[in-house]
Amino acid sequence: MIDQLAEIKARALKDLAAADDAEATEAWRVAYLGKKGQLTTVLRQLGALPPAERPLVGQKANEVKVALELALAARLEVERRVALRRAAEAERVDVTLPGRQPSLGQVHPTTRVLKEVLDSFAAMGFQVAEGPDVEWDYYNFEALNIPKDHPARDMWDTFYVQSKGRPGEILLRTHTSPNQVRVMEKVRPPVRVVVPGRVYRYEATDATHESEFFQVEGLAVDKNVTMADLKGVLSAFAREMFGAERKVRFRCDYFPFVEPGVEMAISCFQCGGVGCRLCGNGWLEIMGAGMVHPKVLAGVGYDPSVYSGFAFGIGVERIAILKYGIDDIRLFYANDLRFLRQFK
Ligand code: PHE
């Protein structure tokens, strides 16, 4: 039996050396060390030996078993390394390849100017609020002293939303002014807010007209707010946006929700105010403004004999057009990358 063991060992080691892949190794394990393997079969016969021979044969058998197990472990380790090396080679990265440039987006010129406008007013203590694009006729017109039959409605023709219950009452806001009312309904004076937002008009589009654009509404209400405050705040804004040497001009204008109403212009920053292609006569109109109409104040429950305020409305694209010398407002919504990429 000892001879048989020695013979098994020699054959096993030879076979293992010849096994050249993981499958062959596994077949080898089953053939020699498996439950019905050759070595196991011999070990099972141990009981049949005379008791005197058992210890020696048992020891020998054990030695062979350990030797085969060690040989198997060594073989498996070699296989593991080969597999690892193959995997590493398959996944090899060429670190010398140039990287792919990710395409970086950038802020839209409207957004950029909008942020500058808001920052400028934030520095003067104005908070930012927002309101809905789809608005009630009440806020867009009625509460702003523009009743149904008012001719001023012609300046702000808009898109109406079909609604069963209240036909003709829901529309796309034509300006951000409804937020004057919405803000005042919610808070008591002092009020200092700026409200950015998209506005809509039923408009035949051309180089200076779009059916959608952005405005920033401003509102300040408190005791003793006067036209001097309006001029001071808006002049500071104009100088911040267009240069410290800007002169400002206020002329009468009409908006039903302010009294008096003004249109504000700045001295042209391109020619310094002498007149050029951009401005014509030296002045650039940049916004409408005025003292909040007493009817608007009374409408939200502010006592007009105690409180007064000023409001203004800035066209954001208009500011961008002036600042960057853009000659067509439709460029803002054309999604033409050649245009947009210029605003880095
Ligand atoms: N809402 C006006 C417009 O769209 C602008 C404006 C705002 C005028 C506030 C006066 C006061 O033309």
Backbone angles phi, psi at 218, to 5 degrees: -125, 145
**Whether residues 207 and 325 fall in one domain:** yes
- Asked whether 289 lines ligand 1 (CB < 6 A), one says yes
Q: To the nearest whole percent, how much of the chain has pLDDT over 70?
A: 100
* Phi-psi map region of 145: left, alpha, beta (phi>0 left; psi -120 to 50 alpha): left
**Whether residues 77 and 119 fall in one domain:** no
Task: Please check whether residue 58 lies inside any domain of the structure.
Answer: yes
**Whether residues 114 and 207 fall in one domain:** yes
Q: Which run of H or E residues covers position 66?
A: helix 54-90
Query: What average pLDDT score do residues 226-252 get?
Result: 95
Check: CB of residue 250 under 8 Å from CB of residue 237.
no
> How much is the mean pLDDT over the chain?
91
Ligand 1, residues 175, 201, 221, 317: which to mutate, most atoms within 8 A of Cβ? 175
CA of 98 to the centre of ligand 1 (A): 54
CA of 219 to the centre of ligand 1 (A): 11
Last residue of one domain, picked from the residues 31, 60, 91: 91
CA of 290 to the centre of ligand 1 (A): 8
What CA–CA distance (Å, rounded) separates 54 from 43? 10
> Is there a catalytic annotation at residue 86?
no
DSSP result, 120-144: HHHTTTPEE----SEEEHHHHTGGG
- Asked whether 258 lines ligand 1 (CB < 6 A), one says yes
Whether the predicted pLDDT of 62 surpasses 90? no
Query: What average pLDDT score do residues 134-158 get?
Result: 92
**Whether residues 87 and 113 fall in one domain:** no
Task: Please check whether residue 104 lies inside any domain of the structure.
Answer: no
Whether the predicted pLDDT of 278 surpasses 80? no
**Whether residues 170 and 283 fall in one domain:** yes
**Whether residues 79 and 115 fall in one domain:** no
Q: What secondary structure letter does DSSP report for 309?
A: E
Please report the pLDDT score of residue 173 as a whole number.
97
Task: Please check whether residue 242 lies inside any domain of the structure.
Answer: yes
Q: Which of 199, 215, 248, 293 is catalytic?
A: 215
Could you list the residue range(s) of the whole structural domain that residue 254 is in?
Answer: 109-340
* Beta pairing partners, 197: 215
**Whether residues 87 and 118 fall in one domain:** no
Whether the predicted pLDDT of 262 surpasses 90? yes
Please report the pLDDT score of residue 104 as a whole number.
84
DSSP result, 193-216: EEEEEEEE-----BTTB-SEEEEE
- Asked whether 312 lines ligand 1 (CB < 6 A), one says yes
- Asked whether 310 lines ligand 1 (CB < 6 A), one says no
Task: Please check whether residue 115 lies inside any domain of the structure.
Answer: yes
Ligand 1, residues 156, 233, 255: which to mutate, most atoms within 8 A of Cβ? 255
Per-residue pLDDT band at 223 (split at 50, 70, 90): very high
Last residue of one domain, picked from the residues 91, 119, 151: 91
Task: Please check whether residue 98 lies inside any domain of the structure.
Answer: no
Please report the pLDDT score of residue 157 as a whole number.
85
What CA–CA distance (Å, rounded) separates 227 from 294? 14
Q: In terms of C-beta density within 10 A (0-12 exposed, 13-18 middle, 19 or more buried), how is residue 153 classed?
A: middle
Instruction: Find all residues with CB under 8 Å of 131, minimum gap 6, and list them.
Output: 139, 173, 176, 178, 179, 182, 195, 197
Query: What average pLDDT score do residues 126-138 get?
Result: 97
Please report the pLDDT score of residue 331 as a whole number.
94
Task: Please check whether residue 96 lies inside any domain of the structure.
Answer: no
Per-residue pLDDT band at 207 (split at 50, 70, 90): confident
Q: Which of 29, 75, 173, 175 is catalytic?
A: 175
Peptide bond into 167 cis (omega under 30): no
What CA–CA distance (Å, rounded) separates 311 from 220? 7
> Which atom of ligand 1 lies closest to the CA of 199?
4
What total number of domains does the chain contain?
Answer: 2
**Whether residues 161 and 37 fall in one domain:** no
> Is there a catalytic annotation at residue 129?
no
Please report the pLDDT score of residue 5 as a whole number.
83
Please report the pLDDT score of residue 109 as a whole number.
95
Whether the predicted pLDDT of 232 surpasses 90? yes
CATH number, domain of 314, equals 3.30.930.10
Looking at 222-341, list the stretches that DSSP marks H as alpha helix, in order from N- to C-terminal side: 227-242, 294-299, 316-324, 337-340
Nearest CA to ligand 1 atom 4: 175
Query: What average pLDDT score do residues 21-46 get?
Result: 85
Query: What average pLDDT score do residues 140-162 get?
Result: 90
Give me the residue label for tokens 């006067």. 226
CA of 177 to the centre of ligand 1 (A): 6
Per-residue pLDDT band at 255 (split at 50, 70, 90): very high
Check: CB of residue 219 under 8 Å from CB of residue 291.
no
> Is there a catalytic annotation at residue 209?
no
Most confident of 13-27, 154-168, 304-318: 304-318
**Whether residues 241 and 333 fall in one domain:** yes
CA of 262 to the centre of ligand 1 (A): 10
Per-residue pLDDT band at 181 (split at 50, 70, 90): very high
- Asked whether 177 lines ligand 1 (CB < 6 A), one says yes
Query: Shortest CA distance to 309 belongs to which of 215, 122, 181?
Result: 181
> Is there a catalytic annotation at residue 215?
yes
Last residue of one domain, picked from the residues 58, 91, 124: 91
Coil, strand, or helix at residue 263?
A: strand
Task: Please check whether residue 102 lies inside any domain of the structure.
Answer: no
CA of 197 to the centre of ligand 1 (A): 13
Pair of tokens at residue 30: 């089953």
Task: Please check whether residue 55 lies inside any domain of the structure.
Answer: yes
- Asked whether 219 lines ligand 1 (CB < 6 A), one says no
Whether the predicted pLDDT of 123 surpasses 90? yes
Of 50-54, 85-89, 297-301, the one with minimum mean pLDDT is 50-54
**Whether residues 122 and 82 fall in one domain:** no
Query: What average pLDDT score do residues 238-244 get?
Result: 91
**Whether residues 146 and 38 fall in one domain:** no
**Whether residues 219 and 313 fall in one domain:** yes
Q: Which of 117, 258, 296, 320 is catalytic?
A: 258
Spell out where 224-306 has E strands: 248-253, 258-267, 283-292
Give the dihedral sign, CA 102/108/111/116: positive
